[in-house]
Amino acid sequence: MRSKIVAGNWKMNKTAGQTNALLAELSAKLPDTRAEVMVAPVFVNLTQAVGQLGGSKIEVVAQNMHFADNGAYTGEVAADMLLDIGIKTVILGHSERRAYFGEDDALLAKKVQQALAKQMRVIFCFGEELADRKAGNHFNVVESQLKNALFALPADAWKQIVLAYEPVWAIGTGETASPEQAQEMHAFIRQLIAGGYGDALAQNVSILYGGSVKPGNAAEIFSKPDVDGGLIGGASLVADDFIGIIKGIG
Ligand code: 13P
């Protein structure tokens, strides 16, 4: 189901105490919104976050997971472990996972399959680097990232997929894609899905934008017809900023 979503990817930030404080402030200040609101703290703070937010509108999601059920994968976390503590949604394919931890399309396809097999929802991230955009290659890069990881899925699986277009050059740089650039790419992505699966399915997929979304630019980006919300990094670490962005979606 296509829905509006604002998700905060906290990345490797916030201790347990800081997590508690930020969630308390977010809960107290959360405005009425049509959007689904999510936060993704680090693994070790997920259990406490789920406990703290029980009954709240804010969903706690994970930043990553492994493709295997369990086993000798030191330092990794499996889907069942997330489900067991009440996590139903996982972010996969973030550009930082791709760049710093060698995650490629083939690995991500396995992770996506595992998440779907476990009935989890996936926020699948992808996006071109600056050099790709400068070379005019950004549509090709995005097309291959999506096709390699997701286009072997059966149509039914797309109910569990949320896409997050995050141009790498806009992440943490303060340089956001313009609303027009975001819309152009999101429309392209929806067309790709329509080409593979038909227009009705494509119209039902939520496509989020991520990359230097702030309270000051959120409303304009979110006003674009193919932008269904945002995946927020830095600004999700400050309650008033994240709240300001949620207000931007209405
Ligand atoms: P920033 O909002 O800090 O640019 O990060 C975006 C992001 O990577 C969200 O996953």
**What are the average pLDDT values for consecutive 10-residue runs of the chain, which has 250 residues?**
96 98 97 97 98 95 98 98 98 97 97 98 97 96 98 97 96 89 98 98 98 96 98 98 97
What local confidence, expressed as pLDDT, does residue 1 receive? 80
pLDDT at 207: 98
DSSP state, residue 27: H
Q: What is the pLDDT of residue 173?
A: 87
> Which of 5, 6, 9, 241 to mutate to test ligand 1, by most ligand atoms within 8 A of the CB atom?
9
Task: Find the radius of gyration of the CA atoms of the chain.
Answer: 17
Q: Contact 100/69 with Cβ under 8 angstroms?
A: no
Residues 194, 202: Cα–Cα separation, whole Å: 5
Torsion of CA 46, 49, 51, 52, to 10 degrees: 170
**For 62, which DSSP code?**
B
For the chain, the maximum distance between any two Cα atoms, rounded to a whole number of angstroms, is 48
Cα(193) to centroid of ligand 1, in Å?
Answer: 24
CB 233 less than 6 A from any atom of ligand 1: yes
**Neighbour tally for 131: CB within 10 Å:** 12
Q: Is 38 helix (H, G, I), strand (E, B) or coil?
A: strand
Binding site membership of 172 for ligand 1 (Cβ less than 6 Å): yes
State residue 174's pLDDT score: 82
Q: Separation of 209 CA from ligand 1 center, angstroms?
A: 9
Residue 100's pLDDT is: 97
93 lines ligand 1 (CB under 6 A): no
- Determine contact, residues 43/77, Cβ cutoff 8 Å: yes
138 catalytic? Reply is no
Q: What pLDDT does 176 receive?
A: 87
76 included as an active-site residue: no
Provide the whole-model pTM: 0.98
- Predicted pLDDT of residue 136: 95
